[in-house]
């Protein structure tokens, strides 16, 4: 991976035009280097990321619009506009939009590891079981239901 170039990623663009559809959520790549990766996300009502662990990455969400219900390290929490969600590596977390409005936010991870490769592989993939299988190959481990 290359060093991050200086510059501005415009509000309506992704770096290199990169936009992923991940199980109904839209992820627009905003920044990438070996040290971190950031993307703007839109979670329509009813979409979610089930509980999982990143053993090699810290993950963050800066909330712009809407409300997330979160399960973070065994606690039920919620986050709204202006809040920063911190999800340390090796701590289980799940992210849910249980509202009737879109959630818009900025995610980032540090370091990047192979998260971009994961998103490229699961872009437009409709089978959640296949997403879980592929994610495990990229250091994202989904927890069993329950």
- What domains can be seen in the chain, in order of their start residue? 15-141 (2.60.120.10)
Are 13 and 5 in contact, with CB atoms under 8 Å apart?
Answer: no
Mean pLDDT to the nearest integer, 89-107: 98
What pLDDT is attached to residue 1?
59
pLDDT for 20-58, tens place per residue? 999 999 999 999 999 999 999 999 999 999 999 999 999
Cα–Cα distance measured from residue 5 to residue 34, given in angstroms and rounded to the nearest whole number: 12
* Whole-prediction pTM: 0.95
Find how far residue 128's CA is from the centre of its chain: 15
Closest-CA residue to 4 (of 40, 34, 38): 34
Confidence of residue 144 (pLDDT cuts 50, 70, 90): confident
Tell whether the model's pLDDT for residue 63 goes beyond 80: yes
């Amino acid at each position: 991976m290359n060093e991050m170039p200086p510059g501005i990623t415009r509000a309506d663009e992704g770096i290199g035009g990169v936009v992923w559809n991940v199980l109904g959520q839209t992820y627009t790549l905003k920044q990438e280097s070996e040290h971190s990766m950031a993307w703007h996300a839109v979670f329509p009502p009813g979409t979610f990321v089930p509980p999982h662990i990143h053993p090699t990455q810290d993950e963050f969400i800066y909330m712009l619009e809407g409300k997330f219900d979160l399960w973070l390290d065994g606690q039920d929490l919620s986050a709204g506009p202006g809040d920063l969600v911190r999800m340390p590596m090796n701590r289980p977390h799940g992210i849910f939009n249980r509202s009737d409005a879109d959630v818009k936010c900025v995610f980032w991870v540090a370091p990047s590891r192979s998260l971009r490769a994961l998103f490229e592989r699961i872009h437009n993939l409709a089978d959640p079981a296949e997403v879980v299988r592929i994610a495990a190959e990229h250091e994202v481990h989904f927890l069993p239901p329950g």
